[in-house]
Amino acid sequence: MSICLKHSRKSQDVSGTVAVVGATGAVGGIVLDEIVKQKLPYGKLKLLASERSAGTIIEVAGQPITVELLEPEAFKGVDLVIASTPDEVAAEFVPWAVERGAVVVDESAFYRMNPDVPLVIPEVNAQAASEHKGIIASPNCSTTQMVVALHPLRNAAGLRQIIVSTYQAVSGAGLAANTETIENTHKVLKGQTGQVSVFQHDIAMNLIPQIGSHKEAGFTSEEVKMVRETHKIFGDDTIAINATCVRVPVLVGHSESIYCETEQPLELDEIKRLFSEADGVTLIDDLDNQEYPMPRPCADKPDVFVGRVRKDLHHECGISFWCVSDNLRKGAATNAVQIGKLLSESVAANLSLPNN
Ligand SMILES: NC(=O)c1ccc[n+]([C@@H]2O[C@H](COP(=O)([O-])OP(=O)(O)OC[C@H]3O[C@@H](n4cnc5c(N)ncnc54)[C@H](OP(=O)(O)O)[C@@H]3O)[C@@H](O)[C@H]2O)c1
């Protein structure tokens, strides 16, 4: 098995070593599963994390692999890195990997808006990956599912405006957030007070209309990410986007209520046809039979699910729909491994990445 990924020697075939950084985290665990499911080619797999987890043994495709410490020399001989660590960790270690010739697919927010770093969703802008200089960023989970769903509408009729309200699962804030939610739910059900450390408030039996910190003009950092990342991926900062991001006590699966205005009107049948034919989108839309996407049934699946599709009653270009996706899969690990696969396949085929 061989892959050819080194950005400094793109034409040279090498035996592929893939490193998964943050392998012990909420996203990292799913990255390992997606590497197996998507059959990402590798000769050797390295798992890296902090000193807290170094030495832990994780089984991947039936093989036990010992987690190693994240340090500069860990990237010697590594071709592809798939990384899911906090921003400040990515800021420090990604240059170590790039300097040693690896290509890094990074899930953190740290490099996403860097003009030298492509921000890639393979179904939408695979071509952008060929511009990489050693780093490719995977978008924020709430951005990814919205952009995948809107892509076929934008291709067919242009896109002027997006108004989105999110209902985001706690696992979007990492493994510690799941633990806090489960423990606090048990406590609240017993009439006790929960401990709050990950979230701003107790999320048990509650909603928190704040994800991230106050960024600007009353918007949170998560809301600003949805605006800026969508502009970058679509290559169009004229789209008017307003987001309200809300944390809900769901373990896995982000939901979004999306209203958009296209440039040209689309008929309802056409909108549903576009959704049902789009790459990575599954339409579930039968209100009479109570069929629509919901986070629990959509968990562990790689697709973006769309339903409750309606035309605006007052504006011929307005469309409302409901959108659900597993934040740890398409919102993170599935997308990153797809990028890794795209690189290995495209480099093997002389870097001719597909046009979307
Ligand atoms: N969760 C989502 O839905 C989602 C979606 C899209 C993007 N992301 C992004 O993906 C990244 C990871 O998120 P997550 O939810 O997987 O978080 P998480 O569950 O907290 O996992 C963090 C991972 O990073 C490792 N790590 C932390 N500090 C480290 C250090 N100093 N050196 C080496 N490794 C370190 C941890 O290893 P230890 O076990 O050693 O602590 C763990 O493997 C974040 O940037 C997040 O914004 C998350």
| Residues 67-111: tens digit of each pLDDT | 999 999 999 999 999 999 999 999 999 999 999 999 999 999 999
- Distance from Cα 108 to the centre of ligand 1, integer Å: 8
Measured from the CA of 25, which atom of ligand 1 is nearest? 21
For the structural domain made of 17-138+332-348, what CATH number should be given?
3.40.50.720
pLDDT score at 50: 98
200 phi/psi in degrees, rounded to 5: -75, -30
Pocket of ligand 1, candidates 75, 84, 248: which has the most ligand atoms within 8 Å of its Cβ, to mutate? 84
CB of residue 50 inside a 6 A radius of ligand 1: yes
For the structural domain made of 143-327, what CATH number should be given?
3.30.360.10
Q: Which of 257, 141, 249 is nearest to 199 (CA)?
A: 249
- Distance from Cα 153 to the centre of ligand 1, integer Å: 33
Measured from the CA of 171, which atom of ligand 1 is nearest? 1
pLDDT at residue 1 above 60? no
- Distance from Cα 83 to the centre of ligand 1, integer Å: 8
Where helices occur in the chain by DSSP H, the ranges are: 26-37, 87-99, 122-125, 141-157, 175-189, 221-234, 268-277, 295-298, 334-348
CA dihedral over 210, 214, 215, 218, signed as positive or negative? positive
Residue 142: both structure tokens together? 């709430």
Pocket of ligand 1, candidates 85, 135, 339: which has the most ligand atoms within 8 Å of its Cβ, to mutate? 85
Measure the CA–CA gap between 189 and 124, rounded to whole angstroms. 44
Which residues belong to the active site? 141, 254
Measure the CA–CA gap between 268 and 313, rounded to whole angstroms. 12
| CA-based R_g, the chain, Å | 20
CB of residue 70 inside a 6 A radius of ligand 1: yes
| Residues 155-201: tens digit of each pLDDT | 999 999 999 999 999 999 999 999 999 999 999 999 999 999 999 99
Which DSSP string corresponds to 272-318? HHHHHHSTTEEE--BGGGTB---HHHHTT--SEEEEEEEE-SS-TTE
pLDDT score at 65: 98
Measured from the CA of 254, which atom of ligand 1 is nearest? 3
CB of residue 255 inside a 6 A radius of ligand 1: no
Measure the CA–CA gap between 352 and 12, rounded to whole angstroms. 16
CB of residue 139 inside a 6 A radius of ligand 1: no
Residue 103: both structure tokens together? 């290509």
CB 155 within 8 A of CB 278: no
Residue 184: both structure tokens together? 């606090």
- Distance from Cα 244 to the centre of ligand 1, integer Å: 24
| Residues 347-356: tens digit of each pLDDT | 655 544 444 5
Please tell me the residue having the least CA distance from ligand 1 atom 2. Answer: 172
CB 252 within 8 A of CB 262: no
Which DSSP string corresponds to 296-308? HHHTT--SEEEEE
CB 211 within 8 A of CB 254: no
pLDDT at residue 115 above 70? yes
Local confidence band at 13 (pLDDT 50, 70, 90 cut-offs): very low
Cα–Cα separations (whole angstroms), residue 195 to 23, 99, 207, 252, 355? 27, 42, 16, 21, 49
Q: Which of 275, 259, 272, 254 is nearest to 324 (CA)?
A: 254
Q: Report the relative pairing of strands 57-60 and 63-66 from DSSP bridges.
A: antiparallel
pLDDT at residue 3 above 80? no
Task: For the chain, give every domain's residue range.
Answer: 17-138+332-348, 143-327
Q: Which of 261, 311, 287, 232 is nearest to 150 (CA)?
A: 261
Q: Label residues 81-109 b or e (16+ Cβ within 10 Å = b).
A: bbbbbeeebbeebbebbbebbbbbbbbbb
What percent of the chain clears pLDDT 70, i.e. is strictly above it?
93
